[in-house]
Amino acid sequence: MTHQKVLVLDFGGQYNQLIARRVRDAGVYCEVKSYKTPLDDIRAFDPVGIIFTGGPNSVYLDGAPTVDAGIFSLGVPVLGICYGAQLMANLLGGHVSSAGVKEYGKTPADMDTTSPLFDGLPQSSVVWMSHTDFIDRLPEGFHAICTTASCPTAAMGDEDRGLYAVQFHPEVLHTEYGKQILLNFLVKACGCKRDWSMESYAVSAVRELKEKIGDKKVLLALSGGVDSSVAARLLSKACGKNLYCVFVDHGFMRKNEGDEIEAAFRSDEMNFIRVDAADRFLAKLSGVAEPETKRKLIGEEFIRVFEEEAKKIGKVDFLAQGTIYPDVIESGLGDAAVIKSHHNVGGLPDVVEFTDIVEPLRLLFKDEVRALGRELGLPDYLVNRQPFPGPGLAIRIIGEITKDKLDILRDADAIFREEIAKNGLNTEIHQYFAVLTSMRSVGVMGDFRTYDYTLALRAVTTTDFMTADWAKIPYEVLERVSERIVNEVSGINRIVYDITTKPPATIEWE
């Protein structure tokens, strides 16, 4: 790629993905790499700016993460955030100590608005602090450009060398002018042209895929999720009829979803293969109630079905995967915590023989994938598809799965989603769905006693899906949803609403 590049060096902080997303949102391409990246590799990456992330360590302890101090001699502007700020001070001759007063959360700060970092901002605003150490002696050439009541060096700068450090977190929304601070660093310190967009990425990605794939065959497992759908459309533009998309319909999709996926992708432009495996998956899960066992059985059976279909196609040169950038980051960079290991990161799967692998979305965040999907002309119902677990409704049914339970849940879930959309709440609520519990209770309908299932409704608002709050759906909407489900769906006589945050709960029930 010919875009200007910013390098984010990861020191294990919890907001590191968010830093990279904010940079991308500003129209600047960036990548996250381990702090262990050799100086020669950093030089070869040719960044126009470097950002040190936060991290959980103290710079003055033995074994604390560090970098080659030669990084400050590359002539590239550097911004240190939290731990990154303290590391910059420590490496350049300043001093860091344990703070007498710790600062956490929203904190009023006074800024020197003559500094390029705070240009155009008010002199006083709120920042988000999270530290137990502080810079008690500035390195030579630096001066304090921000203070708080308890922190004399909430930010420091050396404008001549383009070196800046902030003790707070500009990447989080709780810092009032955080986005502007990052933009000031990118534009005023680094001279970024802001040349990163999904329009330009689509053009360059198609060109590069054509060069790599040529006239060879590509196989993609198409789930209908955002990532695999966008990957399919992008690959279709690059290799047309040489793309084989296998959609394994395990029977656990939402109402009409399998047909919608087929309608979007069955065309003359690619080979779309829909495998109706609902009976096969149901038989595999017969009598199984434990959620983790469900997940493993579904995953294993999916591989078996996919393997059978791949062999029917014959020799395939490339396996395509919808791996996205958070998958790569969350699978561990250097000493960064492994949040979760992703099945599509780390090597070729042992499904069938492939020459190589293609991952056209590997450098993109989820919001960028959605933007790329729009750029490629995918319908809104696919681009805006909510997160949906791979096992589908199988883990939204508590206990054993049967066809009757799936039909009940599909109809109830469809009503809930329909009413949310009808009342214009679908843009405010980030995920919403129904869960069929294993609990049955006594009810009365007409003059008759019933003993039917309890259905739980779950709706959350979130910015990152790492934490979530339950959505405050208006009572009249919940009332309408309850009335419709009880009257229109046989087998349900009680509706409950989940008002638990994440944590302590997860978003899904299983």
Residues 262-321 pLDDT 10s:
988 887 677 999 999 999 999 999 999 998 899 899 988 988 888 888 888 888 888 888
Q: Which residue in 171, 176, 257, 301 is the catalytic one?
A: 171
Q: Is residue 342 over pLDDT 60? A: no
Q: Is residue 387 over pLDDT 50? A: yes
Q: Sheet containing 5-10: which strands, arranged edge to edge?
A: 29-34, 5-10, 49-52, 78-81, 163-166, 155-158, 143-147, 95-111, 124-137
In percent, the amount of the chain with pLDDT more than 90 equals 62
Calpha distance 392→390 (Å, rounded): 5
Q: Which residue in 3, 30, 82, 239 is the catalytic one?
A: 82
| Range of lowest pLDDT (24-33, 338-347, 401-410, 497-506) | 338-347
pLDDT digits (tens, 9 = 90+) for 190-216: 999 999 989 888 998 999 999 999 999
pLDDT digits (tens, 9 = 90+) for 160-170: 999 999 999 99
30 is catalytic: no
Q: Is residue 341 over pLDDT 50? A: no
pLDDT of amino acid 267: 75
Calpha distance 415→461 (Å, rounded): 20
Calpha distance 362→321 (Å, rounded): 9
Q: Is residue 398 over pLDDT 90? A: yes
Q: What is the mean pLDDT of residues 9-33?
A: 89
171 is catalytic: yes
In percent, the amount of the chain with pLDDT more than 70 equals 93
Calpha distance 218→317 (Å, rounded): 6
| Range of lowest pLDDT (136-140, 259-263, 313-317) | 313-317
Q: Which residue in 30, 103, 146, 169 is the catalytic one?
A: 169
Q: What is the mean pLDDT of residues 241-258?
A: 93
Query: In this structure, what is the dihedral angle of CA atoms 88, 94, 99, 102, given to the nearest 10 degrees?
Result: -30
169 is catalytic: yes
- pLDDT bin (cut points 50, 70, 90) of residue 40 is very high
Tracing tokens 């129209």 back to the chain, one arrives at 27
pLDDT digits (tens, 9 = 90+) for 429-474: 989 999 999 999 888 777 677 889 999 999 999 876 667 899 999 9
- pLDDT bin (cut points 50, 70, 90) of residue 348 is very low
Calpha distance 499→496 (Å, rounded): 9
Question: Contact 504/439 with Cβ under 8 angstroms?
Answer: no
Q: Is residue 336 over pLDDT 70? A: no
Q: What is the mean pLDDT of residues 122-142?
A: 91
Q: What is the mean pLDDT of residues 56-77?
A: 94
Cis peptide before 503 (omega within 30 of 0): yes
Element (H, E) at 263: helix 257-265
pLDDT of amino acid 340: 34
- pLDDT bin (cut points 50, 70, 90) of residue 339 is very low
Mean pLDDT of the chain: 89
Q: Is residue 349 over pLDDT 50? A: no
Determine the residue type at 395: I
